[in-house]
Amino acid sequence: MFEQLEFLLPLVSKPVQYVGGELNATVKDWDTAAVRWALMYPDAYEVGLPNQGIMILYEVLNELPDVLAERTYAVWPDLEKLMREHRVPQFTVDSHRPVGDFDLLGVSFATELGYTNLLTALDLAGIPLHAAQRTDDHPMVIAGGHAAFNPEPIADFIDAAVLGDGEEAVLEITDAVREWKAQGQPGGRAELLSRLGEVDGVYLPGAYDVSYLPDGRIAEIVRNTERVAHRVAKRTTMDLDEWPYPKQPLVPIAESVHERMSVEIFRGCTRGCRFCQAGMITRPVRERSIQGIGEMVEQGLKASGFSEVGLLSLSSADHSEIREITQGLADRYEGTGTGLSLPSTRVDAFNIDLANEISRNGRRSGLTFAPEGGSERIRRVINKMVSEEDLIRTVATAFGAGWRQVKLYFMCGLPTETDDDVVQIAHMAHRVIRAGREATGSKDIRCTISIGAFVPKPHTPFQWAAQEHPDIVDSRLRKLRVEINSDRRLGRNVGMRYHDGKPALIEGLLSRGDRRVGRVIERVWRDGGRFDGWSEHFSYHRWVAACTAELACLGVSLEWFTTRERGRDEVLPWDHLDSGLDKDWLWDDWQDALSGREQDDCRWTPCFDCGVCPSMGTDIQVGPSGRQLLPISPAGR
Ligand code: SF4
């Protein structure tokens, strides 16, 4: 259908994002494919193309001879309007097929603020918004990604969700669809859905009934068919070396947020930061071997021509062989113009060594650390074990080694937080500037503090916490700004970045909401809600109005879902979805948080029984592996 689309493209912004044909994109023969997947990242191309989850599944599926996978992204409102006027359906960028023609539509949600974009895509594709109204002619709509660990707010709109790692699950889903089609589609859509529900890690919202107490809390969640499990357990890909994807990274043809190739060096995190859903739901730690990393970097650079490699994970400096990896790669690519990047959040001198190492072949931009909380007390609450002395020592070392900019990440609105915890961020920033000036003898030192509003997430110890109201978050941030500028000689070298707290409250509603929130999402979408993760498109007023209209009659509200603390016995909307974490352990950790007690990282200390390893039949996997980064010969010579 490219002809239909082509004449609209000169009329929209950034038309190149819709044409496909990227290096390493795959177009396979439609007619000979037994199973056809459309994979969607529900945001603009520039954000969606670099997404590793989609890239991995795209390649894993396209490697199967009889399976094809194509990509689709959210279209901007200018193109959406024209597509509606000219009856052009949601399309894939690879061969410009209507999404409605595929067997499956897999949607990866990194954030809940993409939910309205799912509805746009379904509607443009001609797929009924409600799963219950779909027929044999419509694709199965399957959600994945971190938000799928509580897909209840979108339960009405999806047929299934995949919990956890997708590599193996998509292959098993593909097998089920292939077999059902080869058998002549017995039992139609309902039978296929039941078969999908038998795949480990696949959750069918329609196979569970939710009932409510008079006060609005959930009474119980029970399955309505024996063909699904009481609780659905997540999938865990244990040996990353067996899954060296992407081997052929997609190279964007339009501007995108990350223009580099990425290698995931490990999955999971056991540092135990209590606010971090990603760390909790991706346990246990599984490291990719140094040899596997070296091979992926080499192959990926050859296949893509990128000049930068990102070593990705939740805390990359924690790979047990990170020194050997960075030194080996820096040696290998010395003189080639290939740069390395490492998301660095660890606050210690070791991290500066690493930063010096990886900047050998590239420019020395800023260093980023994430203390997350302004006071020692609040950092104990969130289990972010960083002392201010360590931070100052680390940044002084960085400035002494030639770095001139430091970026510090914080959150505001954390459980038990007071104004003073936030105001202390200013004192920390002032100390950073002073330490930088002392270490360098120069006044030209910069510290940027970037602050996000805290959103309590499911499957974390803070899942019971009351979210702070945006007015309080905003007032604390105003006090912080005043404090930063209370000393102009220091304050003028401190930059402050933050958004107001309102989008975070809506993210909180979508993160911890239940099925009743689906009505709100649909109303917001019908009222024009699109791209809610973008401040220029987000309308707080629209969300508040939709909550009032849809929730008041049910006896609940936006505040009820967000700023209300939950009790130990409350049935949470995601209790039937098993991330491996023991609920009693999560509760104990929440109590430890409230009394400021820290928890060590179980990679280096004895297991503290969070429940993941035994329930998954797995174990922490860290080096040293005894393997080497091969080949050793430097590429530049
Ligand atoms: S079960 Fe023990 S070793 Fe495994 S992630 Fe949890 S605390 Fe760590």
pLDDT digits (tens, 9 = 90+) for 417-474: 999 999 999 999 999 999 999 999 988 899 999 999 999 999 999 999 999 999 999 9
In this predicted structure, the answer to whether residue 10 has a pLDDT above a threshold of 90 is yes
Q: How far is the CA of 589 from the centre of ligand 1 (A)?
A: 13
pLDDT higher than 80, residue 345 = no
Q: Please state the atom number of ligand 1 nearest to the C-alpha of residue 610.
A: 6
Average pLDDT score over the chain: 93
Q: What is the Å distance from ligand 1's center to 349 Cα?
A: 27
Q: Which atom of ligand 1 is nearest to the CA of 614?
A: 1
Do 217 and 286 share a structural domain?
no
C-alpha 609 – ligand 1 centre gap (Å): 6
581 Cα to the center of ligand 1, angstroms: 9
CA dihedral 15, 20, 22, 25 (to 10 degrees): 160
Q: Is residue 532 domain-resident?
A: no
Are 143 and 88 in a shared domain? yes
In whole angstroms, give the CA distance from residue 19 to residue 15.
Answer: 7
11 Cβ neighbours under 8 A, 6+ residues apart:
78, 82
Do residues 298 and 228 both lie within one domain? no
Q: Over the stretch 310-341, which tens digit does the pLDDT of each residue have?
A: 999 988 888 999 989 988 998 898 888 888 88
Range with the largest mean pLDDT of 58-67, 352-361, 493-502: 58-67
Residues 346 and 368: their CA atoms lie apart, in Å, by 9
Choosing from 238, 383, 603, 608 the residue with most ligand 1 atoms within 8 A of its CB, the one to mutate for a pocket test is: 608
Q: Please name which of 366, 491, 490 lies closest in space to residue 434, comparing C-alpha atoms.
A: 490
Task: Give, using CA atoms, the residue closest to atom 3 of ligand 1.
Answer: 607
124 φ/ψ angles, rounded to the nearest 5 degrees: -65, -30
Helix (H, G, I), strand (E, B) or coil at 338: coil
Ligand 1 neighbours (beta carbon < 6 A): 270, 283-284, 602, 607-613, 620
Q: Could you tell me if 142 and 187 lie in one domain?
A: yes
Tell me: pLDDT of 487 over 70. Answer: yes
- Using the structure block, give the residue that is written with the tokens 């279209």: 75
Check which CATH number belongs to the domain holding 129 and give it: 3.40.50.280
Task: Using most ligand atoms within 8 A of CB, pick from 607, 618, 621, 622 the residue to mutate for ligand 1.
Answer: 607
Indicate whether 202 and 319 sit together in one domain. Answer: no
For the CA of 618, the closest atom of ligand 1 is 4
Last residue of a domain, one of 191, 214, 233: 233
Number of domains in the chain: 2
Instruction: For residue 602, give the ligand 1 atom closest to its CA.
Output: 8
Q: What is the CATH number of the domain that holds 308?
A: 3.80.30.20
Please check whether residue 94 lies inside any domain of the structure: yes
Residue 283 CA: nearest ligand 1 atom is 5
219 with 283, same domain? no
Same-domain check for residues 52 and 181: yes
The whole-number pLDDT of residue 468 equals: 97
Q: Does residue 222 form part of some domain?
A: yes
Question: What is the C-alpha separation between 433 and 453, in angstroms, rounded?
Answer: 24
Atom 4, ligand 1: residue with shortest CA distance: 613
Domain hosting residue 173, numbered range: 2-233
Distance CA 374, CA 417 (A): 10
Encode pLDDT of 26-80 as tens digits: 999 999 999 999 999 999 999 999 999 999 999 999 999 999 999 999 999 999 9
Is 289 found in the same domain as 215?
Answer: no
Kindly give the distance from the C-alpha atom of residue 604 to the centroid of ligand 1, in angstroms, as a whole number. 11
In a domain, 25, yes or no: yes
381-422 pLDDT tens trace? 999 988 899 889 888 888 888 888 889 999 999 999 999 999
Give the Cα separation of 301 and 277 in Å (integer).
Answer: 31
- Residue 37, domain member (yes or no): yes
User: Which is it for strands 308-312 and 286-287: parallel, antiparallel or unpaired?
Assistant: unpaired
How much distance in Å is there from the Cα of 615 to the middle of ligand 1?
10
What distance, in Å, lies between the first and last C-alpha atoms of the chain?
48
Q: Which of 179-183, 314-318, 582-586 has the lowest mean pLDDT?
A: 314-318
Q: Does residue 636 carry a pLDDT above 60? A: no
Question: Which protein residue has the closest C-alpha to ligand 1 atom 5?
Answer: 284
In a domain, 627, yes or no: no
Instruction: Say whether the peptide bond before residue 249 is cis (omega within 30 degrees of 0).
Output: no
Task: Provide the pLDDT confidence category of residue 258 given band limits of 50, 70 and 90.
Answer: confident
Residue 544 pLDDT greater than 50, yes or no: yes
pLDDT of residue 396: 86
Residue 632 has pLDDT above 50, yes or no: no
Of all residues in the chain, the percent with pLDDT exceeding 90 is: 80
d(CA 606, ligand 1 centre) in Å: 8
**Residues 283, 145 share a domain:** no
Q: Quick one: 385 and 446 in the same domain? A: yes
More confident residue, 578 or 618: 578
* pLDDT more than 70, % of the chain: 96
> If 0-12 CB within 10 Å is exposed, 13-18 middle and 19+ buried, where does residue 488 land?
exposed
What pLDDT band is residue 353 in, cutting at 50, 70 and 90?
confident
Return the ligand 1 atom nearest residue 607 CA: 2
Query: How remote is the CA of residue 362 from the centroid of ligand 1, in Å?
Result: 37
Closest ligand 1 atom to the C-alpha of 285? 5
Query: Which residue would you say has higher pLDDT here, 110 or 635?
Result: 110
200 and 291 in a single domain? The answer is no
**At what angle are helices 388-400 and 349-358 packed, to 10 degrees?**
30
Q: Are the CB atoms for 378 and 394 separated by under 8 Å?
A: no
How far apart, in whole angstroms, are the C-alpha atoms of residue 480 and residue 486?
A: 10
Residues 352 and 432 in one domain: yes
pLDDT tens column, 272-310? 999 999 999 999 999 999 999 999 999 999 999 999 899
Position 614 pLDDT exceeds 90: no
Work out which ligand 1 atom sits closest to the CA atom of 608.
7
The residue to mutate among 613, 615, 616, 621, having the most atoms of ligand 1 within 8 angstroms of its beta carbon, is 613
Which pLDDT value is given to residue 626?
A: 64
Distance 391 CA to ligand 1 centre (A): 28
